[in-house]
Homo-oligomer: A and B are copies of this chain.
Amino acid sequence: MDLLEKRIISEGRVIGEDVLKVDMFLNHRIDPQLVDAIGAEFRRVFADKDITLVLTVEASGIPAAVACAREFGVPCLFAKKGRNRNVGKDVYECEVFSFTKGETYIMSVSKAYLTCADRVLIIDDFIAEGEATKGMLDIIRQAGASCEGIGIIIEKAFQSGGAKLRAEGYDIRSLAIIDEMREVPGGAPVIKFRHDR
């Protein structure tokens, strides 16, 4: 997605060789117009899918997931992290290790909102090692629902999550795929996008 790559190049910051900060437009401060464009792009990419639900996990996937759900005319469901007394006990849940936070958390979804009849599109902002995505897939499996596709805004292809899930047969589409990146002290970072998708 050209618009997205341009924003990453012009505003993104690389720290070391594996952290890409895009919190100025994507996952802390959010540009609503870009989010809408991302939602429309996911609709285009998965146009042949008959989706009943968009699933993401809190928090930074939510804006794009809601934008995408609007495009498909379906609800968006976001999995919760941690235990929450208002969610109740009737949930599908799994443990997920977050490399970003360096800790394991419980991901949960109320059983009432995900059924075996659902054809789910997973949306998330990043895929690196794929832990969060695998957690959502586990929850979809527990519900007996089907995963029709996985839409990722930015894939760090130098980490293994996307490749492993493709090898398992999942239809993952990433709007920007980064093969390599590195910080350049005093200069613009090097970010190499893959375009053969």
Q: Which residue numbers of A lie inside 8 Å of B, CB to CB?
A: 19, 21, 23-25, 28-33, 35-36, 58-60, 62-63, 66-67, 69-70, 75-78, 80, 82-88, 100-102, 109-110, 112-113
A24 — which chain B residues lie within 8 A by C-beta?
112-113
Bound: A59/B32 CA distance, A: 16
A28 touches B59 (CB 8 A): no
Bound: A31/B74 CA distance, A: 8
Bound: A28/B114 CA distance, A: 11
Given contacts A58-B59, A62-B62, contact A100 B86 (CB under 8 A): yes
A102 touches B85 (CB 8 A): yes
A31 — which chain B residues lie within 8 A by C-beta?
75
Partner of A32, one of B69, B87, B110: B69
A102 — which chain B residues lie within 8 A by C-beta?
85
B87 touches A101 (CB 8 A): no
Bound: A29/B62 CA distance, A: 11
- Report A127 CB to chain B, min CB distance, Å: 15
B70 touches A113 (CB 8 A): no
- Return the 7 tightest CB-CB contacts between A and B, nearest first: A58-B59, A32-B70, A59-B59, A29-B113, A30-B76, A62-B62, A29-B77
B70 touches A33 (CB 8 A): yes
Of the A-B pairs whose beta carbons lie under 8 Å apart in the complex, a sample of 28, sorted by A's number, is: A19-B85, A21-B88, A23-B87, A23-B110, A28-B78, A28-B110, A28-B113, A29-B75, A29-B76, A29-B110, A29-B113, A30-B75, A30-B76, A30-B77, A30-B78, A32-B66, A36-B70, A58-B59, A58-B60, A59-B59, A59-B78, A63-B63, A63-B66, A82-B101, A83-B101, A84-B100, A85-B100, A86-B100
